[in-house]
């Protein structure tokens, strides 16, 4: 098979070719600012991790256009089944940065009550941003099930499920793609081909010519887009969403992009990513690409960037200040939310843990017996 040229919209001169996103100036600037907000969040998270204030983070640099372009094609009534490198989608739809920061600190205000590692977000408002798990690919069949419910109830919603190039080797990729096509449910599969699965390059992940081609065998359309071109991603996702909404079933979109940082703050990509590759992709920076588009439309200048960067930094700094001031979740949160009702054995184990903490003098304020 021949390599398909990825769909691109924003040309070298900044002009859009073959696609009008139909977005107002305000909406375009919201896309732009969200990318900068992701970057500000990343920078701050790295500093927090390096200084020992949080344990872990996942960098997004290089992937921002894919995240924001895809999110911009969804309605608030749609569902997002994200990977751990997707939080730009949540920011785009208005999840406050401070809610994410609560998760980064694992504090009492975190929606997951500090039970998960940082970056494993879960939100239900203002959009369903499904709880993230670490095992790879498990969320693909789950998105299909959620979409089955939409189809059964004849709702015009879609489920977008996002995963990396590594995710295509998982059990869930096969079952998710297969079930979605057989059931013809409204799912958009977004494969972020960012070059590496932790340290493993794409050519060690698959011998096929990219990932979009895999759609053919499942019986659904497959599209390759330039993942650093926000409008190209938006166009492909919008078309897939429109098809899904009218009952046309799923689409696989491969967004070719590049992870400009490590897999996580625990990873050193200089051990396995050639320097030249980083330099090559740095020239294709998705933020610069979108700036050229805004510039060609007369909506952008350096001053705007400086203003946005400053306001993003301020927003993230305020989020850190607020989140860091919130204490740990109380001890009882180890035992709650395992089941809807606390079963007797967990009640007993909880009481034993409180009792020991009390005896040893390391019970924190708020720790105590379960409410009856």
Partner 1 sequence: MPTLTLVQAVNDALKTAMRRDKSVLVFGQDVGPKGGVFLATEGLTNEFGKERCFDTPLSEDGIVGAAIGMAINGLRPVAEIQFQDFIFPAFDQIVSEAAKLRYRSGGQYTAPMVIRTPYGGGIRGGLYHSQSGEAYFCHTPGLKVVVPSTPADAKGLLLASIADPDPVLFLEPKALYRSIKEEVPEGHYTVDLGVLRGVRDGSDCVVFCYGAMVPVAVKAAEQAAELGHSVRVIDLRTLLPLDEEGVLEHAKQVGRVVVLHEAPRFCGFGAEISAMIAEHAIEYMDAPVVRVTGFDTPFPNTLEHHYLPDARRVLDAIERVMAY
Q: Is 122 in the site for partner 1 (CB under 8 A)?
A: yes
Interface stretch with partner 1, choices 119-127, 226-234, 251-259, 296-304 (CB under 8 A): 119-127
Return d(Cα 181, Cα 248) in angstroms, integer: 10
* Closer residue to partner 1 in complex, CB, 115/305: 115
Contact 63, 259 (CB under 8 A): yes
Interface stretch with partner 1, choices 63-71, 171-179, 198-206, 221-229 (CB under 8 A): 171-179
Q: How far is the CB of 351 from partner 1 (least distance, A)?
A: 14
Return d(Cα 93, Cα 224) in angstroms, integer: 25
Residue 311 CB-half CA count within 13 A: 10
- 226-249 burial, b at 16+ Cβ within 10 Å, e below that, comes to bbbbbbbbbbbbbbbbebbbeeeb
Residue given tokens 């330039």 in the structure block: 226
Phi, then psi, of 100 in degrees rounded to 5? -70, -40
Return d(Cα 112, Cα 99) in angstroms, integer: 11
Q: Is 182 in the site for partner 1 (CB under 8 A)?
A: yes
Phi, then psi, of 162 in degrees rounded to 5? -115, 140
Phi, then psi, of 367 in degrees rounded to 5? -75, 140
* Closer residue to partner 1 in complex, CB, 69/82: 82
Q: Is 113 in the site for partner 1 (CB under 8 A)?
A: yes
Residue among 57, 47, 20 at smallest CA distance from 263: 57
* Closer residue to partner 1 in complex, CB, 131/169: 131
Interface stretch with partner 1, choices 230-238, 291-299, 314-322, 335-343 (CB under 8 A): 335-343
* Closer residue to partner 1 in complex, CB, 65/136: 136
Instruction: Give the binding-site size for partner 1 (rule: CB under 8 A).
Output: 46
Q: Which is it for strands 200-201 and 196-197: parallel, antiparallel or unpaired?
A: antiparallel
Q: How far is the CB of 333 from partner 1 (least distance, A)?
A: 8
Q: How far is the CB of 122 from partner 1 (least distance, A)?
A: 4
Q: Is 148 in the site for partner 1 (CB under 8 A)?
A: yes
Task: Give the tokens for residue 194.
Answer: 């960012």
Q: Of 33, 234, 259, 289, which residue is the catalytic one?
A: 259
Q: Is 126 in the site for partner 1 (CB under 8 A)?
A: no
Residues 6 or more apart from 306 whose CB is under 8 A from it?
A: none
Q: Is 310 in the site for partner 1 (CB under 8 A)?
A: no
Residues that bind partner 1 (CB under 8 A): 79, 110-113, 115-116, 120, 122-124, 130-131, 133, 135, 138, 140-150, 152-153, 159, 171-172, 174-176, 178-179, 182, 337-340, 343-346
Which residues are identified as catalytic? 259, 263, 272
């Amino acid at each position: 098979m021949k390599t398909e040229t990825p769909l691109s919209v924003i040309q070298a001169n900044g002009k859009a070719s073959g696609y009008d996103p139909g977005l107002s100036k305000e909406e375009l600037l919201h896309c732009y600012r969200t990318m900068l907000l992701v970057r500000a969040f990343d920078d701050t998270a790295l500093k927090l991790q390096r200084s020992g204030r949080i344990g872990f983070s996942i960098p997004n640099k290089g992937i921002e256009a894919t995240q924001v372009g895809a999110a911009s094609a969804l309605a608030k009534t749609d569902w997002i089944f994200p990977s751990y490198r997707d939080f730009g989608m949540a920011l785009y739809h208005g999840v406050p940065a401070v809610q994410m920061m609560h998760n980064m600190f694992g504090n009492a205000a975190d929606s997951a009550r500090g039970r998960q590692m940082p970056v494993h977000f879960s939100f239900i408002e203002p959009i369903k941003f499904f709880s993230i798990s670490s095992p790879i690919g498990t969320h693909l069949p789950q998105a299909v099930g959620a979409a089955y419910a939409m189809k059964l109830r004849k709702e015009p919603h879609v489920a977008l499920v996002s995963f990396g190039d590594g995710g295509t080797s998982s059990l869930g990729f096969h079952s998710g793609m297969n079930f979605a096509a057989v059931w013809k449910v409204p799912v958009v599969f977004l494969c972020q081909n960012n070059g590496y699965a932790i340290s493993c390059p794409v050519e060690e992940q698959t011998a096929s010519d990219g990932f979009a081609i895999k759609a053919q065998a499942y019986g659904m359309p497959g599209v390759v887009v330039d993942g650093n071109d926000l409008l190209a991603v938006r166009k492909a996702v919008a078309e897939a969403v429109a098809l899904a909404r009218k009952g046309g079933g799923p689409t696989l979109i491969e967004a070719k992009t590049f992870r400009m940082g490590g897999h996580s703050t625990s990873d050193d990509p200089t051990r396995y990513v050639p320097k030249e590759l980083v330099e090559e992709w740095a020239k294709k920076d998705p933020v610069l690409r979108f700036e050229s588009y805004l510039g060609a439309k007369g909506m952008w200048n350096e001053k705007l960037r400086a203003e946005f960067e400053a306001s993003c930094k301020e927003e993230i700094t305020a989020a850190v200040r607020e989140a860091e001031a919130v204490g740990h979740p109380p001890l009882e949160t180890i035992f709650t939310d395992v089941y809807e009702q606390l079963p007797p054995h967990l009640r007993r184990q909880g009481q034993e843990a409180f009792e020991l903490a009390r005896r040893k003098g390391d019970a924190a304020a708020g720790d105590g017996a379960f409410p009856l």
